[in-house]
């Protein structure tokens, strides 16, 4: 009979992040890079709902693997969509509801939680707490967003976000 080992879960996110960087062949130099949230510059990302802002932490979302810190307001929704690369989410604060189009039980992702959405996997995200912050790691470029309707047909960001009473950033 095996005993639960909760420390394994605590190590999972740092190990995943380290593994992701090594898997991409990124060299780690002697330079240390980092900043606190208060020092970060946040802005809108085209196609994202205007109830969200983001700050690129590493890489270039259009040219290389990247990490973005995304902050959302309560109720902010990214309706059904998919991305070309794999999307790794690491919840910093708040609670978000993730749903996958191919079924399965919705996931309530809480502070410290992690989720992986494989490439081209249709899913949606909604912040259900007072606000949410999530690190989004994209393991390839470009990091894009393709919204779809209930039938899975690609639609414009404006049409997708209008359905959930949001507006697309330009």
Per domain, the residue ranges of the chain are 45-162
Q: Give the homologous superfamily in CATH for domain 45-162.
A: Jelly Rolls (2.60.120.10)
Q: Is the pLDDT of residue 142 over 60?
A: yes
Instruction: Tell me which of 16 and 88 has the higher pLDDT.
Output: 88
What's this model's pTM, rounded to 2 decimal places?
A: 0.81
Q: How far apart are CA 43 and CA 97, in angstroms?
A: 23
Of 76, 59, 72, 80, nearest to 143 (Cα)?
A: 59
Categorize the per-residue pLDDT at 20 as very low, low, confident or very high, splitting at 50, 70 and 90: very low
């Amino acid at each position: 009979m095996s005993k639960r080992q909760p420390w394994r879960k605590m190590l999972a996110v740092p190990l995943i992040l380290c593994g992701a960087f090594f898997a991409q062949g990124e060299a780690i130099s002697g330079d240390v890079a980092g900043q606190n949230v208060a020092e970060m510059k946040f802005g809108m990302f085209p196609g994202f709902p205007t109830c969200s802002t983001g700050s690129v932490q590493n890489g270039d979302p259009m040219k290389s693997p990247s990490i973005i810190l995304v902050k959302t307001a309560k109720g902010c929704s990214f309706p059904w969509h998919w991305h070309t690369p794999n999307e790794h989410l690491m919840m910093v604060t708040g609670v978000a509801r993730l749903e996958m189009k191919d079924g399965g039980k919705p996931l309530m992702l809480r502070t410290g939680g992690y989720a992986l959405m494989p490439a081209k996997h249709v899913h949606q995200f909604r912040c259900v707490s007072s606000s949410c912050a999530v690190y989004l790691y994209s393991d390839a470029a470009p990091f894009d967003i393709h919204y779809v309707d209930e039938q899975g047909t690609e639609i414009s960001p404006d049409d997708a976000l209008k359905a959930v009473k949001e507006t697309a950033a330009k």
